[in-house]
Amino acid sequence: PEGADTGSQKDRVVTEEEWLQKWETGNIGFHKEQGHPLLQKHLDVLLNGRSGLRIFFPLCGKAVEMKWLADMGHSVVGVEVSEQALKDFFAEHSLPYCEEPVPEISGAKTLQSTSGNISLYCCSIYDLSSSVVGKFDAVWDRGALVAVNPCDRQRYVSLMITLMEKNSSYLLVTVSYDPNKHKGPPFYVPESEIKSLFGNHCEIKCLEQVDDFSDKHRRWGLDYFLEVLYILKFVA
């Protein structure tokens, strides 16, 4: 049964400190320099014909898709604990930015593109709420839910639900592999769990499953690795 399968990961904790260290040492194999092909392919479902959306990138790292969407005229908000990741993002796209403290969150700041349509919060996602960041028309969740510690998953999803506008859409990428062979992150989140986490608040559709197996996964001791894409629709 799936419950027993994921049991091996449920107590694993990656601390904020460890994430910062990954950024410091350049141990960021999760970053995709060319962006994610599944966002490109399914952008239409996410946007659903709408323009000028507010789009949220939880646990954003330096995801290049933030630049894509901003260039299309959307307004992008991200959150990330690593300031280095955010500074790298602006530097790598030659985007001027300014820093501002966030009065509601002690120690937090935003890095905002001077053009105004990319606002990245440097703090833990658990410090955010809709009163600070508002609500969103769309979410791109890749390397986010699957990077959250299993013990925090319910809290993460409950928070995300409070950040969704009516009639918003949420593209979620999860990964599938044998969780007894790799401790994560990324963590294996089965479809049954997606349904129990989000199920009461939205319609969930699996859009596709793609083979993403590479040498990295072979070195982790795995013999298969899939990405699974869902669209969640938050109906009125």
- Tell me the binding residues: 19-30, 59, 80, 124-125, 142
Backbone torsions φ then ψ of 36, nearest 5 degrees: -100, 125
**Beta-strand relationship, 109-113 and 164-176:** unpaired
The verdict on 124 binding ligand SAH (CB under 6 A) reads: yes
Among the listed ranges 1-9, 80-88, 174-182, 227-235, the one in contact with ligand SAH (CB under 6 A) is 80-88
- Applying CB under 6 A, the site for ligand SAH has a residue count of 19
Q: Which residue number, 34 or 200, has a Cβ lying nearer to ligand SAH?
A: 34
Token duo for residue 181: 């062979």
Of residues 192 through 221, those in contact with ligand SAH by CB under 6 A are none
| Burial per residue of 140-171, b for 16 or more beta-carbon CB atoms within 10 angstroms, e otherwise | bbbbbbbbbbbeebeebbebbbebbbeebbbb
Q: Single out the residue of 69, 108, 147, 228 in contact with ligand SAH (rule: CB under 6 A).
A: 147
Q: Single out the residue of 143, 150, 179, 184 in contact with ligand SAH (rule: CB under 6 A).
A: 143
**Distance, CA of 157 to CA of 46 (rounded, Å):** 18
- Other CB atoms within 10 Å distance of the CB of residue 58: 24
The verdict on 109 binding ligand SAH (CB under 6 A) reads: no
Q: Which residue number, 46 or 85, has a Cβ lying nearer to ligand SAH?
A: 85
Nearest approach in angstroms of CB 171 to ligand SAH is 12
**Distance, CA of 112 to CA of 114 (rounded, Å):** 6
Q: Which residue number, 164 or 173, has a Cβ lying nearer to ligand SAH?
A: 173
Q: Is 189 exposed, middle or buried (0-12, 13-18, 19+ CB in 10 A)?
A: buried
The verdict on 61 binding ligand SAH (CB under 6 A) reads: yes
The verdict on 160 binding ligand SAH (CB under 6 A) reads: no
Residue ranges of the annotated binding site for S-adenosyl-L-methionine are 19-30, 59, 80, 124-125, 142
Helix (H, G, I), strand (E, B) or coil at 220: coil
Closest to 82 (Cα-Cα) out of 112, 111, 122, 113: 122
Nearest approach in angstroms of CB 236 to ligand SAH is 28
* Residues of this chain that bind ligand SAH (CB under 6 A): 19, 30-31, 59-61, 63, 79-82, 85, 124-126, 142-144, 147
